[in-house]
Structure formats: C-alpha cells, structure tokens
Amino acid sequence: MKIVYFTHSLASCWNHGNAHFLRGVLRELASRGHEVTAYEPAGAWSLDNLLKDHGEKGLSSYRSLYPELSSNTFNEDIDLDEALAGADVVIVHEWNDPWLVAAIGKLRRGGAPFTLLFHDTHHRAVSDPKAIKQFDLDGYDGVLAFGETLAEVYRRWGWGNRVYVWHEAADTKLFRPPAEESDRKGLVWIGNWGDGERSAELESFLLRPARTVALPLEIYGVRYPEEALAMLDRYGVAYRGWLPNARAPEVFARHLATVHVPRRFYVDMLPGIPTIRVFEALACGIPLVSAPWQDSEGLFRPGTDYLVAESEAQMERHLRAINSDPDLRKSLVENGLAAIRNRHSCAHRVDQLLAILATYGAAAPTEMSA
C-alpha cells in the first residue's frame, strides 16, 4: 500500500512526543514493503524551536538512527492532488492546521479512492474541545484515538464504531536494553515541564523523594521556566536540557530507575492513557515507579511490570527498595520487557492499524454514508 501521513513534525521531537511513535510506526510499515510518505508543515513549531536552540546538529541523532525516514515540507500552496496521487491510506494528525484537515476531507468526500483517518494523540478533546471541533472531519472514514477514554469522547460526538483505540507504543528496534550492562547510578526523568500541569506532582513524587532517599537525580527536557529551574536547583537536581529522543536508550542505560509523573489531564480527565515514556522506559529495561495513574484498559500489570506510588511516602519506600534490592530490579526489568515485547511495540500497533484498514478494504475503501 501507499500510505501518506501528515504530521506536525517527523524530524523534530522537541516537545513533540508523537514523533517518537510515528517514527517507529512508519519504519515498521516500510520494513513490511509499504510505500510510506510523510509530510510536515513549513515552520513547524517543534522543528523551529529545535533549530533555534541546537541548529542542524540537533537533527543528527534522528538522521543517523532513522536513515530510512524522511519527510516533505509543505505550505498552503501544496498541490494535494499531486501529493496524494496513488495513495491507498492517508492519516492526518490533529496537530495540523484546520485548512489542511478540511482540504483533505473535501478530496475524500469528492470521491478520492483512499481511506482517510484522523489521528488524535492529545488531551485537547477534553481540555480545549473547541480546538478539536474546529476541524472539519466530514469526509473522514474514521478516527484513531490513543486511548479508550479519548475514543469515548469521539463516540459522544457521533463517530460510533468509526473511532478506533490506537495506543502509542515503543519502537523496539531502537528502544531496547543495552547490549552490555554497565554501572547504573541514580534516577533519571525525561520529560518536559508541562505548562504547570504537573508541577506539584513533580515535587511530591520525584524531587522530594529523590532527595529524601539520597538518590542523585538527572532531568532532561524543555520548556522549563525560570521558577522551575530554580526549584530543580533547590533540590540539587542535575538539569541536562533537551535530549534527542533517539538518545534516550543510552541515558536510561546509565541509571538505576526512572519515574513516571503523568500530567493532570491524563489522571483526571483521560485516565488509562500513559505517556509514550512508559512504553519506552520499560522497553529499555529500566525499573519504573509511577505516580498515581489508573490503568483502566489493563495495558500493564501495575505492581509487576512497574511499581505504583499512591503517596510521597510510598514513592520513597519504592525508591529505597529498588536501590537496595537487585532481585526486585531484575523482576521489574523482566516483567516490563515482557509486557512491551508481547503487546506494546510499534510492530503490534502496525498489526492493529492494518487490521483497521482491512475493514475498509484498504486500497478499496468502502463507500461513505451520506
């Protein structure tokens, strides 16, 4: 099949977590013989910030570790008839401009012979529904939602059985345990500040517990305002700035454990949706401790694949246990890896996507209802 994906950015993972998943999925599709083409808008916010902060060198890890991937840059004068010629499947990510979403939907509505899906991987459907409802999805065959609670929002909006749960997952061709183990020390947290969505939680479930149990802590991420950096300094945290996602496995390999601190929207309003960092950390074979998070879809086995801390005191106990108990670390690593390898790799998600597309006949999609 010829598959065309319109993303915010394939090249940049600067504050753009969907790039992690998309790279793995597109690479997997290509390895199975599908023709894959990606488009990203000129002036993409993520790429602009990456280049401003790091220049072309900031793209070196992506280019060296994903040599088979590339993307085409477009603007409003794009010839969509030409761009989509021969396409069997077109997927449009929600972080695109409304004009593009509408224009591609219009082509499909006018009889374009491809299956057209809208891909939503954000909390805006509940945190800012007007931002999503501005998209004209008339003409779209279906919606890919990265969790059941988000899929339910679309069902309430009338999509019925045309919305599909398509969780993110780990690219296990890159995210895997190190070939040879070396000394591991301290904690690492890879994540962006999050616009204040989890400031208190980061202090309660990461910064204070790390200091209390005397585990050195390194943090990687972007968009940390001055007050956040001052807080990290008060807690003696080593702040390392932006990390190319392709280099995350080598960083995980140097550390004893990592922590998951979900944003508030994914705890209160969209439970059951982990960030991609959970999948990636477990795939790299590093013990993980999570702040409170409801795995309502049974993606993992909490307490077995990773530990859950319901309070700051419990986080401290878990960190002490991981630090002192090699058997616990070994068990968490083995169980977490098994969860990813059995259910949550990008290869699994490609299997799911192809099964969804098969319901439309893939290259010969069903006629849309009026």
pLDDT tens for the chain, 370 residues long, are 999 999 999 999 999 999 999 999 999 999 999 999 999 999 999 999 999 999 999 999 999 999 999 999 999 999 999 999 999 999 999 999 999 999 999 999 999 999 999 999 998 998 899 999 999 999 999 999 999 999 999 999 999 999 999 999 999 999 999 999 999 999 999 999 877 778 899 999 999 999 999 999 999 999 999 999 999 999 999 999 999 999 999 999 999 999 999 988 888 888 899 989 999 999 999 999 999 999 999 999 999 999 999 999 999 999 999 999 999 999 999 999 999 999 999 999 999 999 999 999 864 333 333 2
User: Is the domain of 206 the same as that of 102?
Assistant: no
CA 100 from centroid of its chain's CA atoms: 22
User: Is the domain of 138 the same as that of 200?
Assistant: no
CA 124 from centroid of its chain's CA atoms: 15
Query: For residue 214, is it within any domain?
Result: yes
Query: For residue 179, is it within any domain?
Result: no
User: Is the domain of 234 the same as that of 294?
Assistant: yes
Query: For residue 367, is it within any domain?
Result: no
Q: What is the pLDDT of residue 264?
A: 83
Using only C-alpha atoms, what is the Rg of the chain? 21
Q: What is the pLDDT of residue 302?
A: 97
Residue 296: CB atoms within 10 A of its CB come to 13
Q: What is the pLDDT of residue 365?
A: 35
Query: For residue 178, is it within any domain?
Result: no
**What is the value of pTM for the model shown?**
0.95
**What digits encode the pLDDT tens for the residues 45-57?**
999 999 999 999 9
User: Is the domain of 209 the same as that of 262?
Assistant: yes
User: Is the domain of 281 the same as that of 354?
Assistant: no
Q: What is the pLDDT of residue 362?
A: 65
User: Is the domain of 221 the same as that of 193?
Assistant: yes
Q: How far apart are the first and last CA of the chain?
A: 27
Q: What is the pLDDT of residue 49?
A: 97
Q: What is the pLDDT of residue 197?
A: 73
* Torsion, Cα of 199, 201, 206, 207 (10° steps): 50
Q: Which residues form the domain of 85?
A: 2-169+346-358
> Cβ(265)–Cβ(293) under 8 Å?
no
User: Is the domain of 89 the same as that of 194?
Assistant: no
Q: What is the pLDDT of residue 361?
A: 85
> Cβ(290)–Cβ(314) under 8 Å?
no
User: Is the domain of 124 the same as that of 243?
Assistant: no
Report the CATH number that the domain containing residue 121 is assigned in CATH. Answer: 3.40.50.2000
User: Is the domain of 58 the same as that of 136?
Assistant: yes
Q: What is the pLDDT of residue 203?
A: 96
Please tell me the total count of domains within the chain. 2
Structure tokens that stand for 88 in this block: 């069997």
Query: For residue 312, is it within any domain?
Result: yes
Identify any residues that bridge with 2 across adjacent strands, giving them in sequence order.
35
User: Is the domain of 335 the same as that of 353?
Assistant: no
Residue 151: CB atoms within 10 A of its CB come to 20
Q: What is the pLDDT of residue 266?
A: 83
Query: For residue 175, is it within any domain?
Result: no
Q: What is the pLDDT of residue 168?
A: 97
Structure tokens that stand for 113 in this block: 């012979």
Nearest to 171 by CA among 272, 257, 279: 279
Query: For residue 146, is it within any domain?
Result: yes
Query: For residue 53, is it within any domain?
Result: yes
User: Is the domain of 44 the same as that of 20?
Assistant: yes
User: Is the domain of 34 the same as that of 93?
Assistant: yes
> Cβ(83)–Cβ(112) under 8 Å?
no
Q: What is the pLDDT of residue 205?
A: 97
